[in-house]
Structure 1
Amino acid sequence: MRRTKWGGLAERGFEASGFFRVDQRDGIHWLVDPDGGLFLSKGVNNVRFDPDNIRNTDKVPYAQACLDKYGSRNNWRAAAANRLVSWNFNTIGCWSDEVVAGAGDTPLAMTPIVDLGASFWLHRRQRFPDVFDDEFESHIRQRAKELCTPRRNAPQLLGTFIDNELYWSPDWRGNDELLTTFLNFPPRRPGRVTAITALQQHYRDFEQFNAVWCTPARSWDALHMLGQIEAPFTRLAPGARYNTEESWANKLDRRREAFAADCDAFAAVVADRYFELCVGAIKAADPNHMVLGARFGALPHDGVLAAAARHLDVISFNCYHADPTPLIEAYATTGKPCIITEFSFRGDDVGLPNSMGGGPRVPTQTERAACFRSYATAAVSHPNVVGYHWFEHADQPREGRFDGEDCNYGTVTIEDEVYPELTGAMTEVNADAERLHGQGAAIASAAQA
């Protein structure tokens, strides 16, 4: 197969535009590289000389090992880039050193993250950015201008991620809804005022609202000043059990059904404003490249997905399940192309604790390689999936990184020794990915017939 310099398939390609974009053919989604090649983003996250400090120290064991091995950061960059290409990767994923993209003999696409919402959220010390705050829009436009404008003419930029794993709905981190999150912002904050106003517009009077929510307040004015507004019910995280069990619970309790409707409606409004403003900020600074989404950490509710689909070029999500198929199907309902932006498998045979972090643990590196093969094959065989990014380039420190993770996630050890079983599987699947993806056209056509 003849390939472009970016690694895309040159035969039966699309028109060259000089930048990466998305297109469809015969019911199947593709990325299109700057030269018009059919492209799937096969990437690795956190490709950098200094990926992880040992927790609570300034020691970076991978960097020291690579300095001893290569003599300089630039020598490592060239070696790392060429090694990734030898494994048939074509992209450096999130948190990577962007210089690596052009350091080797073959260019790699790059996918930076600009943390628009997270940077405002951290500034305001809130669980989710207050998208109704007037300062939110000015903040993200300035940040996008600073981070995206310098890359606007870069052909190697695949696209930009807005954020990573914002909290959209109940998941492994807690049971809060976006509505209760906003209701518990400090009094007079725009997000809290907007949330209460939305409820006030929905319910005829306060008594009708309080029949569902059961707050200690006795008026809308009192609700505005209440210190804590508790959710009257707890919902499951969206997923396989959600529709059946939540539907049944709501049929049994109309108050619960009303609460769920309140939460879903408000989440959809928040998501629409978030994606509209963030995509607008990035496109204003860089109209030439795609916006690749916010790397969903867990499946959000339908209204959030619908909002994402209205504004994004590609929907991105992280999936640490052994089989990505159910989650792919859930995101594919939007009709948009999707990228899996984190997945991994951890082997227990290399002496790392694997005590924290996502992804299945398996006994050996041989099984780790087999899991990659099965997962990646399933992913690219779906007509909506236009890429996958492995987490991550090098193993984490045995002592734990900043948050305590201490896992065998790497394509290489912390001494920069290659895992041959895993990278061998990666080399083979990456080389065959476009053929596997092309078969999705037949599946899509059969389904439409």
Structure 2
Amino acid sequence: MKTSHPALRRLLPLLVPAALVLTPSAPFARPLPDDRASLPVNAASGAEARLQAQGWLTLRAAPDATEARLQLTPPAGGWKLDACAELAVPVRNLSPFPVRVVLHVDDHKSRAREPNPLRRGVRAELALPAGNQVHWLIVPLAGPADEAPPADRYRSLVVMPHEFVRRGVVEAARVRQVRLVLPDVAAGAAISVGPLEGRGTPAPLANWTPDKIFPLVDLYGQYRHRDWPEKITREADFTARRDAENQDLAAHARPADWDRFGGWAKGPQREATGFFRTEKIDGRWWLIDPEGRLFWSHGVVRVGTRVRVGGIYHGTPLPDREHYFELPPAGSPYAAFFGTEPESTRGYYVGRPNHAVYDHLEANLSRKFGAGWVNAYATEAQRRLASWGLNTIANSSDPAVYERRQTPYTAIVYSAPMGDAQFRLAGSKGNWGKLPDPFDPGWAKRMRDTLRADLKSALNDPWCLGFFVDNELNWSTSTYVAECTLASPATQHAKRAFLTSLQARYADIAALNTAWGTRHATWDGWLAATDIPDLKRAAVRSDLEAFTAQYLEAYFSGCRAAVKAESPHHLYLGCRFAQGANPLVMGIAVRHCDVISINRYATLVSDVALPDGLDRPILIGEFHFGALDRGPLAPALVPVPDQAARATAYAVYVESALRNPHVIGTHWFQYFDQPTTGRFDGENYQTGLVDICDTPYRETVGAVRQIASRLYELRNGASRPAAPAPAPSLAEP
């Protein structure tokens, strides 16, 4: 690991939700006693914890650890945090290199949030620089449950307006523990943890009547109760913004050292195959463009107005939330942007097919560009990408944009239908659906049929980098897939494949029962059962890991075969891991994927690498930062204080990727902001390079242009690490 990231100091004041450099205790700070003086045996894992002077605690990673954890709990009676706005933890880095630290704050509902804590505001993260300076990790706190607004007034919003409900998710009066995690440690990693503090006082909530609160958004979909620079206030503003941006785009040309694909025209010439491929050169992985030039993928996800995740979603849902909106009357030209969408894959609108929506974004594009807005916005998107220095239209983008073949793009196919049980493992769970069943005889055919039907234009297109298959599947532990298979019904094809493998291993059911400690009367009894045997038994764990490996081999080989059968020259870009995956999954994925794709929401990716002995190029499929100083109600999965901080965070993140020899690109999530009142699943984050009114965030765009102007200089000049980078986090802590 490098001893220092060259841009790290620019990032320190900007991290989640605030990393206060050399900041003393805030006003109204309250010390919080904990159990560090007599740590329980299980308080630290993967590390040694020792109490030092003045109540500071040293956490030193074990030599062979890939992750270190520390858990601190309050004394009897708990912490008195109900009058505090936030919980803060001071930390120092005792290592000679940067260390990533994540703070989790748990209340009585944390276990229910565990499948997806990053989306729920219960953690803070910091990349600690080398040195012994004090930095603060801070998590905002929520008020009591009865202080929250009535559920029937605020539906399907990941984050509600802070004017009417306290910041934070963790209930202040019911905090039961804090956890500090070093997710991807190197040898010698150590931090020091100071006394915890409850800080600040909650801001008073606006005591408004419903008729003053609602509607929440104006005719353009912007939040009504705040103002900010560049907020649209009248129809004429759209024309003025369009004209001003035309001048900006004319003044900023595409990087001069790029070829027509966005590759490095002034760099070395490699073999040209007519399609994108990968190559490792002098210890660094690269993409090679169709003309044989070095290519690093600097991209943005979802360039388009609609969300393509199996079904096509757009706008913001209306049922049970009509009071949120100021909507156009019947007969208005903007009434054309009412519509419907399929039932949601998650959240409030699951089980509600063809529910009504209104699409503020498309209505605003119509205001800006007129009757021909569909063509005009696609043209504008291509002009922006060139001017901003983005050379990839990334996942889930609009074919009407990428089929112009002016900018390279990626495509995605889902190996099993989203929101449907067909070809899915019934006993599994996941944020984006259940796991596929690669043993189903119709699974591979369905995937190939989808490629031919839905992605026909991308097949054998030189402008297409390659195909992702699936998104953020839940891989969990090395036995998880087998556990899900056991929990599935007897008709599940994967379960029958598991049965066949066990019958080959054990002479009869009695032999299995002896090894597993079970009491199945027959093999049919085993097949019908859905309980999970004792994972502490060596034979159980061995058999479950063996079947998980068998499943993974069938899944990844099947996905590769489908992609190569329909488009043999394209890259199989993997399954878009959420943050990372366990070594068993990674080891098998590497055998079949041309590229390992990882959606990595963090502050840096200097540390991203595959487990020891594995070598494939890594593509960052998603990342972003967001703030609350503009219209959206929710900042992002990785919040920062304001737009200036957002721009700096972008530059630091992408530069860290350019300096990582394993990483071949970063794809920002996403082109447009999510709706203020939430998309199909309630997400309402400031995700965009462009807002809901099609106005670019000039600070972030400036950072994108700055990185693009030095893209190949940075990549080619990136120094190699002195030692292998540590493995990625095996699972979301």
TM over 0.5: yes
CA distance in 2, matches of 1:229, 1:447: 41
1:150 Cα offset (Å)? 3.7
**Residue 136 (structure 1) aligned with residue 443 (structure 2):** yes
Q: Is the 8 A contact 2:572 2:595 kept in 1?
A: yes
1:141 Cα offset (Å)? 2.6
CA distance in 1, matches of 2:419, 2:684: 29
User: Where does residue 262 of structure 2 map in the other structure?
Assistant: 7
Q: Is the 8 A contact 1:121 1:130 kept in 2?
A: no
User: Where does residue 92 of structure 1 map in the other structure?
Assistant: 393
Q: Is the 8 A contact 2:306 2:398 kept in 1?
A: no
1:213 Cα offset (Å)? 4.9
Mapping for residues 102-251 of structure 1, pairs under 5 Å: 103=404, 107-118=406-417, 122-124=421-423, 126=426, 127-170=434-477, 177-202=480-505, 206=509, 209-210=512-513, 213=516, 215=518, 217-226=520-529, 228-230=530-532, 232-233=534-535
- TM-score, with length taken from structure 1: 0.85
Distance 1:120 1:401, change over 3 A: closer
- The amino acid of 1:180's aligned partner reads E
CA distance in 2, matches of 1:48, 1:332: 39
1:117 Cα offset (Å)? 3.6
Q: Is the 8 A contact 1:152 1:288 kept in 2?
A: no
Distance 1:88 1:212, change over 3 A: farther
CA distance in 2, matches of 1:275, 1:361: 34
Distance 1:162 1:260, change over 3 A: same
Q: Is the 8 A contact 2:411 2:458 kept in 1?
A: no
Distance 1:258 1:330, change over 3 A: farther
CA distance in 2, matches of 1:331, 1:60: 44
Picking from 401, 423, 441, the partner of 2:701 is 423
1:166 Cα offset (Å)? 1.8
Give the unaligned 5+ runs of structure 2.
Answer: 1-255, 308-313, 319-355, 427-433, 726-733
User: Where does residue 252 of structure 2 map in the other structure?
Assistant: none
Distance 1:403 1:219, change over 3 A: same
Distance 1:203 1:22, change over 3 A: same
1:372-425 deviation digits (Å, cap 9, x = unpaired): 112111112111111110000111111110001010011011111111111111
Distance 1:18 1:324, change over 3 A: same
User: Where does residue 65 of structure 1 map in the other structure?
Assistant: 364
1:207 Cα offset (Å)? 5.3
Picking from 362, 374, 385, the partner of 2:652 is 374
CA distance in 2, matches of 1:401, 1:177: 30
Query: Percent same amino acid at aligned positions?
Result: 32
CA distance in 2, matches of 1:120, 1:23: 37
Distance 1:143 1:50, change over 3 A: closer
CA distance in 1, matches of 2:594, 2:674: 32
User: Where does residue 243 of structure 1 map in the other structure?
Assistant: none
Higher mean alpha-carbon deviation, 284-293 vs 329-338, is at 329-338
Q: Is the 8 A contact 1:15 1:36 kept in 2?
A: yes
Q: Secondary structure at the match of 2:381?
A: helix
User: Where does residue 276 of structure 1 map in the other structure?
Assistant: 557
Aligned length: 416
**Residue 435 (structure 1) aligned with residue 713 (structure 2):** yes
- The amino acid of 2:285's aligned partner reads H
CA distance in 1, matches of 2:613, 2:626: 30
1:210 Cα offset (Å)? 4.2
Picking from 288, 310, 316, the partner of 1:54 is 316
Higher relative contact order (CA 8 A, sep 6+): 1
Higher mean alpha-carbon deviation, 72-81 vs 299-308, is at 299-308
Distance 1:44 1:167, change over 3 A: same
Higher mean alpha-carbon deviation, 203-212 vs 160-169, is at 203-212
Q: Is the 8 A contact 2:286 2:295 kept in 1?
A: yes
Give the unaligned 5+ runs of structure 1.
Answer: 234-252
1:78 Cα offset (Å)? 0.8
1:124 Cα offset (Å)? 4.0
CA distance in 2, matches of 1:416, 1:139: 37
Distance 1:135 1:421, change over 3 A: same
User: Where does residue 584 of structure 2 map in the other structure?
Assistant: 303
- TM-score, with length taken from structure 2: 0.53
1:204 Cα offset (Å)? 6.2
CA RMSD for the aligned pairs? 2.7
Q: Is the 8 A contact 2:479 2:544 kept in 1?
A: no
- The amino acid of 1:46's aligned partner reads R
**Residue 19 (structure 1) aligned with residue 326 (structure 2):** no
Q: Is the 8 A contact 1:41 1:91 kept in 2?
A: yes
1:102 Cα offset (Å)? 5.5
CA distance in 1, matches of 2:387, 2:678: 30
- The amino acid of 1:301's aligned partner reads N
Picking from 303, 320, 324, the partner of 2:601 is 320
Structure with the largest fraction of strand:
2
Structure with the largest fraction of helix:
1
1:241-296 deviation digits (Å, cap 9, x = unpaired): xxxxxxxxxxxx5x2x5444333322221111111111111111111211111111
1:42 Cα offset (Å)? 0.9
1:93 Cα offset (Å)? 0.8
1:132-168 deviation digits (Å, cap 9, x = unpaired): 1111122223223334554333221111111111222
User: Where does residue 671 of structure 2 map in the other structure?
Assistant: 393
CA distance in 2, matches of 1:260, 1:109: 44
CA distance in 2, matches of 1:156, 1:201: 47
Picking from 281, 287, 294, the partner of 1:38 is 294
Higher mean alpha-carbon deviation, 194-203 vs 117-126, is at 117-126
Q: Is the 8 A contact 2:423 2:440 kept in 1?
A: no
- The amino acid of 2:633's aligned partner reads P
Distance 1:363 1:333, change over 3 A: farther
CA distance in 2, matches of 1:360, 1:395: 15
Q: Is the 8 A contact 1:331 1:338 kept in 2?
A: no
User: Where does residue 341 of structure 1 map in the other structure?
Assistant: 621
Higher mean alpha-carbon deviation, 203-212 vs 179-188, is at 203-212
Mapping for residues 66-81 of structure 1, pairs under 5 Å: 66-71=365-370, 72-81=373-382
Q: Is the 8 A contact 1:87 1:427 kept in 2?
A: yes
CA distance in 2, matches of 1:141, 1:7: 30
Q: Is the 8 A contact 2:650 2:703 kept in 1?
A: yes
Distance 1:349 1:211, change over 3 A: farther
Distance 1:35 1:184, change over 3 A: same
- The amino acid of 1:112's aligned partner reads A
CA distance in 2, matches of 1:150, 1:208: 54
Q: Secondary structure at the match of 2:720?
A: helix
Distance 1:264 1:379, change over 3 A: farther
Q: Secondary structure at the match of 1:378?
A: helix
User: Where does residue 98 of structure 2 map in the other structure?
Assistant: none
User: Where does residue 352 of structure 1 map in the other structure?
Assistant: 632
1:128 Cα offset (Å)? 1.5
Q: Secondary structure at the match of 2:666?
A: strand
Distance 1:120 1:418, change over 3 A: closer
Higher mean alpha-carbon deviation, 124-133 vs 86-95, is at 124-133
Distance 1:447 1:47, change over 3 A: closer
CA distance in 2, matches of 1:216, 1:60: 57
- The amino acid of 2:690's aligned partner reads V
